[in-house]
Structure 1
C-alpha cells in the first residue's frame, strides 16, 4: 500500500509516501540476456493496479468512502498484494542476479537516491504550499518519508552483502527473516524517540513518516531471497511427496482463514500495517503463498494473451509506472486531499491509470533507466 501524503493535520499516518509501493521492480536485476520469468512480471503488473487504486482511495476519497465496504476492500487489496509482492520479487532477483557485489551495491544506492528525488517530486505542490502559503507542516517529514524506494535501496545493499556468505544461504536468510519479524515490535519501540530525527526511522520506530522501515519490511526481500535458494528443494518436495505437499497447503489455508480477521483489520489500518509485527507478517506471507499458487495455476490453465501481455509489460516497467503515478497522484492530492465522493473513484482510477500508462510507455521508448 502506499502512503497518503499527510497533507492535512488530521490525516492518519500516511501510507507509504512515495511508497507506493513500491518499486519492487527495483529487484529485477536481470543479466543482459537472461530470459525474463513470466509469473513475477504478471504478479507485479497486477500489484501495480492494486497500488494505483489504493493510492487514489487513500488520498482522494472522503472519509465515508474510505470507511465503506468498497473502501475497506480497496485498502486490503493495497496491503499484502502490493508492497510485499514487490519486495519478495525483488529479493528473489537479487539472489538470482550474477552481477558483482559492487554493481549491486551501486544499484541499491541509486534506488535510494531515486527515492529522495521522488519524495520531492510527488510532494512538490505541498512543499510549495508550505514555503509560500505558510501551511503548518514539516517539509522534512515528506522529503525523508521512508517510502518503498528507500526500503528497496537499503534492502538491495544489505542483500548484496548477504551474498558474500557463500554457504548456508537458505538457513541464514530464513533465520534473518524470522528475526526481523520477531524483533520488529521491540525495535520499533526502542527506536521511537520524543526528539525528531530522520535517521532511525529508516531502521524502525513508530513515526508517522516512516512507512517502510527495515523492521519489519526487510523480512519480505529476505523471503524472496530465501525462496530462490530453497526453490529446488521445495519443488522436489512437491513432486516427490504430493500428498504431504497438499496437506501442508491445506493446513496453511486453514491457518490463514483462522487469522483472517486480524489480517484484514491490520491491512486496512495504515499505522498498524506499516509497523506490523510477527503475527501479521507470518499471516501475510502465508496469504501470499496461497495467492501466488492460485495465480500460477490460473495463469497456467487460462492463457489470456492480451491481458497477460498488458500485465507483463507493467511488471517489466514497474519503476517507471511507480514514479509516474506517484508524481501525478501526489501533486493532485495536495489540492483535493480526501474530498472526493466514492462515486468519483472509477473516474480518477481509470483516468490516472491511462495517463500513467501513456507517459510510462513514451518514457520507456526513450530507453531512460531510472535505476
Structure 2
C-alpha cells in the first residue's frame, strides 16, 4: 500500500502541474496587465506559474525506475521529443500565419511575427521551449545514465554544479551561427530560448537523485523519498532566499533564465510543495474524481502540452492579445480546457483503435 501511495503521489503532482498549464498560458497571452497584476485570478495564476516545473522533478524520479532501460531507446525518444518541439512551434506560430491570416496587430507589434517577416518566422520556428529542454535532457542523461545511477550522490553533485554554473556560462557564444543556436539552447540568456538546459536540467537531476534514494528502500517511501524531499526543499528554499536577498539580479534575474539562488529557491518551493501533494493524496479517498483527473493528465502529459498550446495560439489568431478582463479570461480558460480534453479524447480513441487493429492483424497472422 505504501508503494502504491508513492506512485499515486508522483502522478498526482505531475497531473496537477499539467492541469495548471492552461490558466497560466491563457493569462500570459490574453489578460490585460491590470488583470494579470490586480485580479484574484491573476495573482493565483502567478503562483501557479512558479509550480509548473514540478513535472521536471517527476521526470527525474521516473528515470530512477528505468535502471535497465535501453540506451538506444532513450536516445530515440529524446530525438522524437526534440522533433515534437519544432512541430509544436510550426503549429502554434506558423500555421496561423499561413492559414488564419496572422495574429492580431497588438501581438504583431510585440513580437514582429508576421507573414511579411520571414526572419521572425524562422526565429519563432526555432524557439527553444519545454520540448527542447526535455529532449536534450533525455539525450544527455541517456548517455550518462549508467554513470549517474552508480552512486546517487554523483547525481546530487551534478545538480549543484549545473545550478551554480548557470550564470557563469549564461549567454556564452562563439560567433558561429549554427553552433551559437545550439549553445543558446544550452545556456541562452534571451527569449529565443525559454527553458535553457542550464539551470533547468538541475530540476530533473534532483528528481533522479530522489528517485534513486527511493529505489534503495521501496518499502518505506516516507523515509526514502518524501522525508529527504522535505529536508532538501527546506534547505534549498532558505539558501536560495538568502542568496537572492544578497544579489537579486545575479541569483534570480528572470524566471526563465535563473541564477543559482533563484534556481535553488524555486527548487526548494517545488520540493516542499511535492511533499504537501503527497500528504494531500494520502488523505483523499482512493477512487476520488480529483485524483482520477490528475492521473489522466499525468498519463497524457505530452499530447496535453502540445494540444493546449496549439489551441491557445489558434484562438489568439481570431481574438486579441493582452486585452481581456478577468471574466473573459476565465471563459477562455474554460473553452481551452474543453477543447483540449475533447481533442485528447479523440486522439486517444484513434490511437486505441489503431492498436486494436494491429493486435488483430498479429493474431490473424499467427
TM-score (norm 2): 0.78
Per-residue deviation, 1:111: 0.6
Within the alignment, does 1:88 sit opposite 2:71 as a pair? no
Q: How does 1:84-233 map to 2 (within 5 A)?
A: 84-97=53-66, 98-128=68-98, 129=102, 133-134=115-116, 138-165=120-147, 168-191=150-173, 197-231=180-214
Which of 297, 301, 304 does residue 283 from structure 2 map onto?
301
Distance 1:144 1:164, change over 3 A: same
Which residue is equivalent to 1:27?
A: none
Q: Closer, same or farther in 2 for the Cα pair 1:279/1:247, shift >3 Å?
A: closer
Distance in 1 of aligned mates of 2:145 and 2:195: 23
Q: Is the 8 A contact 2:164 2:259 kept in 1?
A: yes
* C-alpha distance 203-239 of structure 1, shift in aligned 2 (>3 A): closer
CA offset digits 1:309-339 (Å, max 9, x no partner): 1111111111111111111002222442212
Q: Check whether the contact 2:304–2:340 (CA below 8 A) recurs between aligned residues.
A: yes
1:283 aligns with 2:283: no
1:325 equivalent in structure 2: 308
Contact kept in structure 2, 1:192 and 1:205, CA below 8 Å: no
Q: How far does residue 353 in structure 1 lie from its aligned partner after superposition? A: 0.4
Deviation (angstroms), 1:223? 1.2
Partners of 2:346 and 2:6 lie apart in 1 by: 22
Distance 1:167 1:49 in 2: 31
Question: Could you list the runs of 5+ residues in structure 1 that have no partner in the other structure?
Answer: 1-33
Give how far 1:166 is off.
Answer: 7.0
The question of whether the paired residues in 1 share the 8 Å contact of 2:210 and 2:228 is answered with no
Change (3 A) 1:135 1:291: same
Larger radius of gyration: 2
Which structure carries more helix by proportion? 2
* Cα 1:362/1:177, change in 2 over 3 Å: same
Equivalent residue for 2:256?
274
In the alignment, which residue of structure 1 is the partner of 2:33?
Answer: 63
Contact 1:192 1:207 in 2 (8 A): no
Structure 2: segments with no counterpart, 5+ residues: 103-111, 355-366
RMSD of aligned residue pairs (Cα, Å): 3.6
Work out the number of aligned pairs and report it: 327
Superposition deviation, residue 36 in structure 1:
10
Note the alpha carbon deviations across 1:54-99, whole angstroms, 9 max, x for none: 00000111121122253243123112x21x2121111222231232
Note if 1:75 corresponds to 2:46.
Answer: yes
State the shift of 1:157 in Å. 0.8
Moved more, 249-258 or 59-68: 249-258
Equivalent residue runs for 1:24-63 within 5 Å: 37-63=7-33
Aligned partners of 1:125 and 1:334 also within 8 Å = no
State whether residues 114 and 121 of structure 2, in contact with CA within 8 Å, keep that contact through their aligned partners in structure 1.
no
Using the alignment, how far apart are the partners of 2:199 and 2:294 within structure 1?
28
Please, what TM-score do these two structures have when normalized by structure 1?
0.77
